Structure 1
């Protein structure tokens, strides 16, 4: 399963970089979203894909019994999802305002206009 996830992460990184190199600012934001999703999957895969119980330590024990899931990776990914959504919302508003002012979503046309 780790090999499939590694290929998926690689594909998402490649697609994100391809989208970010396009001239359209909308495609740039789509590339940023793909990049953040690839980073989340990379963290999830690097933490180890173990289907286990929650990491609860019962009274009187020093370690959780049996195989347990890694809570740190889950917390990092959850935080990254929330931050990524906030950045995406800001970028969408910024693109909308830039399109209203300039009238185009091509970055070369945005650079050449005098406002």
Structure 2
């Protein structure tokens, strides 16, 4: 079970970083979203994930910590607001520059000459 969770976290974070390195603004926003999902899953897994046990009320010492669950819930809400803002900003930049390319929105032609 732990290997599956670690693989899912690695896949989400790796895909998010790969998409963040793109030049298209919408894929950058999608990469940011996948990266935040991976980090949320990592924080949730840090709260001692126990199979076949209730998350809060347990009869033994195997109860999960509720603090990471509260942090992840808060991060999901904040991430939703930030994603909506980033998408609105990407739409505005695409309309202003006429392209969805990040370099075109920044006014950079791709050359490294000063």
TM-score bracket for this pair, using the shorter chain length = 0.7 to 0.9
Larger Rg: 1
Kept in 2, the 8 Å contact 1:6–1:45? The answer is no
- Deviation (angstroms), 1:102: 1.1
CA distance in 1, matches of 2:48, 2:56: 14
SS in structure 2 at match of 1:31: helix
Q: How many pairs does the alignment contain? A: 106
Q: Which residue of 1 aligns with 2:111?
A: none
2:100 — aligned with what?
Answer: 105
Higher relative contact order (CA 8 A, sep 6+): 1
Bigger CA drift: 45-54 or 99-108?
Answer: 45-54
CA RMSD of aligned residues (A): 1.6
Calculate the TM-score normalised by the size of structure 1.
Answer: 0.83
**Structure 2 residue aligned with 1:28:** 28
Quote the offset at 1:54 in angstroms.
5.0
Segments of 5+ residues of structure 2 without an aligned counterpart are 109-114
Unaligned stretches of 5+ residues in structure 1:
57-63
| 1:55 pairs with 2:50 | no
